[in-house]
Amino acid sequence: MIGRCCTHCGARFVSPRLVCPVCQQETQQLTQRIFPAMDDLPNAESAKPVAVTVVVPSYNSVATIRATLHSLMTQAFDETYEVIVVDSSSDETPAIISREFPQVRLIRRSSKTEPGTARNLAIAGASGALIACVDSDCIVETDWLSRMVAGLRAGHPIVGGSVQNGNPHGIVAWAGFFGEFREFIKAGEARQVRHLPTCNIAYHRSVFSQAGGFPTSFYPQEDLLFHWRLEQQGFPIWFDPDIQVKHTHRTEVRSYLRHQYRIGHAAARVLELTGQEGAFLARSPLLASLSLPLLPLVKFLRTLTHFRKLCPGILRRHWKALPLLLIGLYLWGIGFVAGAWADPLRDVFKEPLDSISAEET
């Protein structure tokens, strides 16, 4: 691959995993357009004094929102905290929140709002100096907040934890768990990592003032792109496996497969921008297409190897989910190829995104 022409600008580069100088400059310009500015956040010290703001994006969460909010409102945490839910549901979710959890601050959106945008809106109006994120289909452990805060106050600007399967009796749920959370299981010692999912993570508020908010056009990989941005800004991420959440996964095959396709499509777009491992495929649609038969098999074998090394018992107990996992990975691969063939990001993001407003809608 030495001397290969860049598929973006025609310049030659040494390795398919390196970004040519022209594209590197373009990437720096794109990041200014993709990450919304949040440098006008209100001073947490002058707002209502709470230690932590918990941010929960929500869309059609009627089946899970009660358990999520109950786990948040029953924390073994002695300091004050607030919970903000940004909801754009068309079901009964907002009514449940208003009726059963009046202490929760609800920000309603009239149209479907992606999680990145929802988190940005909540953070813009947050009162806490620390921001903890969890999803509306997760249940947190009772010591969740206390462990998060302890990690942040120990000097880590970003702290997150492990993810467990919250509906462990379904094959589809296990296929989703194996495919999405293999790197975030409760195993090993606390350590520095490059990425953690936003269903179980917390940040110092200053992170957003310096790096901007979550990107709003890369769902469901907006957290992966955001954490790449934080790495570029010099913010390390600390992973403590003892900070645990239970994540409720999709249980319908069609929904699971659609989600895998979306993940693959967004992954290609993220790699196109960041130049991380696999970027040479995302930046070359023809190579991505040719790799389709093999790429899902590679991911499948990596997943098996990872679980065999750290949690072999899970594979033995839930081996029936593995064929569906492989099928899902092929849908991921099809999405990845589609993302590689999509319009270049430099054409999609021609103008900078607006700053985030803290106003409720």
What pLDDT digit, counting tens, does each position of 88-142 carry?
999 999 999 999 999 999 999 999 999 999 999 999 999 999 999 999 999 999 9
Q: Please compute the mean of the pLDDT values over residues 312-332 and round it to a whole number.
A: 97
| 221 shares its domain with 292 | no
* 28 three-class SS: helix
The whole-angstrom distance between residue 176's C-alpha and the CA centroid of its chain comes to: 15
By CB atoms closer than 10 A (0-12, 13-18, 19+), residue 48 is exposed
Task: Give the DSSP letter string of 228-278.
Answer: HHHHHTT--EEEEEEEEEEEPPP-SHHHHHHHHHHHHHHHHHHHHHH--TT
- 175 part of a folded domain: no
Residue 114 domain boundaries: 44-168+184-249
Same domain, 239 and 271: no
pTM beyond 0.75: yes
**Lowest pLDDT segment from 152-161, 180-189, 347-356:** 347-356
Q: Kindly state whether residues 110 and 227 are assigned to the same domain.
A: yes
227 and 260: one domain?
A: no
- As a whole number of angstroms, the distance between CA 357 and CA 313 comes to 47
Same domain, residue pair 211 and 81: yes
Instruction: Provide the token pair at 65.
Output: 């929102």
CATH number at residue 120: 3.90.550.10
Cβ–Cβ under 8 Å, residues 186 and 160: no
Count of domains forming the chain: 2
| Domain final residue, candidates 198, 223, 249 | 249
Residue finishing a domain among 206, 226, 249: 249
Percent of the chain with pLDDT over 70: 84
| Residue 12 in domain | no
Distance of CA 2 to the CA centre of its chain: 34
Task: Identify the residue whose tokens are 């072999």.
Answer: 312
Tokens of 278: 């696999």
Shared domain for 85 and 107, answered yes or no, is yes
Which of 257-266, 284-293, 348-357 is the least confident region?
Answer: 348-357
Decide if 202 is inside a domain.
yes
Answer yes or no: are the C-beta atoms of 233 and 208 closer than 8 Å. Answer: no
**Residue 354 neighbours by CB under 8 Å, 6+ apart:** 36
